[in-house]
Chains A and B, each alone.
Chain A
Amino acid sequence: MTNAIEAEGLVKVYPARRGSTEVRALDGVDLQVPQGTVLGLLGPNGAGKTTTVRILTTLLRPDAGRATVAGYDVVTQSNEVRASIGLSGQYAAVDENLTGWENLYMFGRLYGMPKADAKMRANELLEQFTLADAGGRTIKTYSGGMRRRLDLAAALIGKPNLLFLDEPTTGLDPRSRLGMWDVIRGLVREGTTLLLTTQYLEEADELADTIAVVDTGKIIAQGTADELKAQVGGERIEVVVRDRAMLPAARELLGSAAAGEVEFDEHTRRLTAASTGGAQQLVAIVQAMGDAGIEIDDITLRRPTLDDVFLTLTGHHTADETVEENV
């Protein structure tokens, strides 16, 4: 199987500016994305996801390392790369003062299509993304979900086999997000190779074949969702206590019953620990908590999530922000 995307030792350094020190946005990123598969780049803000996408889509030159996309070098054959890919960025990069149709027609023309083809393609895409009724309205009047769909449609103008989606659902409400997932799954079914960045573990889990976890400019782990989850071991016990004052007592109890570190959140009154004894242990803990007079709002035994993976690998949650990335 050939690789649609190959990157080796990508480095990008943003020089120091007034009020900030030098930022090493990428510190040696290697990637291989086989044709027809989906790679999810997962990491918090500032991890280097957007920088990676910008380099692979020829918007940014790497300071070191090399990358080929669709078989073309991103630096020396940038025009060929651009003709082979579709990009949908973190911010909806469409003209909000043009209508949906006008945007698609414009991008089609700029892609090199003759007028008639660009018109046909614009109609086709509006239909496909259930925007046909809104096609004559300016983007200003669109909802967030509609904008994202149009932005994605714009990325598909040239029917690329290779698609880059930079945080396609950030800022969308849950319903729009599910709708977007459906659209993306549809594209993948048709054989499109996809590189997707996200800060949502759930999203990477849902859409990606392989997940690369990015933190501070490096890929710190790579594998399928199951492989990554296996790295952090077995199931988790999660307890929510009713009374915040009971947290220390509950923590101690859980610590002695389960294995390893107990993680707890003061605000949500939630405690989490790795389970060693399955359902049997769960029952024992419920009993012990009852004996100790600790009231429980909720207790579950669950499989580890990617958030657990992230915490284990990096020592911090995915939601912890490091540096602002959008330079």
Chain B
Amino acid sequence: MSVQQSGAVSDAMVITWRNLKRIPRIPELAIFAILQSIMFVLLFAFVFGGAIPLPGGGDYKEFLMPGIFAQTIAFASATTAIGMTDDMGKGLIDRFRSLPMSRSAVLSGRTVADTIYQAGILVVLMLAGLVVGWRVHNGLAEFLLAVALLLGFAHVMAWLGIWIGLSVPNTETAQQLTFVTIFPLTFISNVFVPPASLPAILQPIAEWNPVSTLTAATRELFGNPNPYVGDGIPGQYPILVTLAWMVVFLVIFAPLAIRKYRNTSR
């Protein structure tokens, strides 16, 4: 046998290629992900938004859009989890594991592909935001930093998604589990309402919630209304706290996901 061990990087690139190839073949996945976010935009911008006053003023739609971006990115873990469970159930993971390839490549390739996928969705949502009246008021550097934060967060959420996907028996459970964990996280936050309007008991959660800090960070960077600033650390340094969250998530969930993958032999 003259088969050389292929490198982890080139294997991961092949897996990324494979995952990206699939996206246009199952267009309904991307379409529904975008429609769900646009539904929230329309619902809050035009139905509830009028009843939500922003302390310090500012346009509600400009307030809303960064929250929608963060919410969508948080749900990226569901996409990854479902994809991973699907691959397990269909026996594709067994095939990968029977090949003389890098084992981590199956995971890193997917997280890279899913991050690229979320970038595409983000572009569509930003265009939708521009249509309803969202604007960027700061410079290009701040804009790019905001996008980098969003995509970095998407990448981290993909690792969480892999761990969930490998831990549940089927795609239905993966969907439900990510839904019931991510959904409250996006609502007990500053995404749709100014956190000051929340009950006192929920305020610390909303303040430290990674979806909140990501939203506040991007609002700050885009120059959108950000009635969040308080005395607390997350209010003062949303960018740094978001980065810290990303590191924490990555350090916890990437090793958990890799270990789970190694042990899926059962």
Contacts and interface: CB of A to CB of B under 8 A. Distances in A.
A250 B3 CA distance: 64
B21 A98 contact: yes
A110 B90 contact: no
Interface stretch (A56-64, A177-185, A190-198, A260-268): A56-64
Nearest to A86: B98
Interface in B171-198: none
Contact of A89 (B14, B94, B265): B94
Interface residues of B, number: 29
Interface in A137-186: 138, 154, 158
A90 B15 CA distance: 23
A92 B95 CA distance: 9
A95 B5 contact: no
Contacts of A83: 1, 3, 5, 100
A279 to B, nearest CB: 50
Contacts of B96: 110
Interface residues of A, number: 34
Main secondary structure of the interface of A (DSSP, over half): loop
Which of B6, B11, B97 has the most C-beta atoms of chain A within 10 angstroms of its own C-beta?
B97
Given A92-B91, A97-B26, A110 B6 contact: yes
Nearest to A138: B25
B4 A95 contact: no
Interface stretch (A101-109, A203-211, A213-221, A301-309): A101-109
A248 B103 CA distance: 62
A94 interface: yes
Contacts of B97: 58-59
A58 B92 contact: no
Interface in A76-129: 79, 82-85, 87, 89-98, 102, 106-107, 109-112
Nearest to A15: B266
A106 B14 contact: yes
Interface string B226-263: 00000000000000000000000000000000000000
B6 A109 contact: yes
B14 A158 contact: no
A84 B92 contact: no
A16 interface: no
Contact of B22 (A54, A85, A97, A327): A97
A107 B17 CA distance: 12
Contacts, number: 89
A184 B3 CA distance: 24
B100 A60 contact: no
A107 B99 contact: yes
A82 B98 contact: yes
Contacts of B92: 93-95
B137 to A, nearest CB: 41
B5 A79 contact: yes
Which of B98, B100, B101, B105 has the most C-beta atoms of chain A within 10 angstroms of its own C-beta?
B98
B10 interface: yes
B212 to A, nearest CB: 36
Interface string A243-258: 0000000000000000
A62 B213 CA distance: 47
Contacts of A92: 91
Given A98-B18, A109-B6, A158-B3, A57 B26 contact: no
Nearest to A84: B1
B18 A95 contact: yes
A154 B90 CA distance: 15
Nearest to A87: B98
Interface of B: 1, 3-6, 10-11, 14-15, 17-18, 21-22, 25-26, 90-92, 94-101, 105, 265-266
28 contacts: A59-B94, A59-B265, A61-B265, A79-B100, A82-B98, A83-B1, A84-B1, A85-B98, A89-B91, A89-B94, A90-B91, A93-B92, A93-B95, A95-B22, A97-B21, A98-B18, A98-B22, A98-B25, A107-B95, A109-B10, A109-B11, A110-B11, A110-B99, A111-B101, A112-B4, A112-B6, A154-B95, A158-B1
Given A92-B91, A158-B3, 11 more contacts: A82-B100, A87-B94, A93-B91, A93-B95, A97-B22, A110-B101, A112-B3, A112-B4, A112-B5, A112-B101, A158-B100
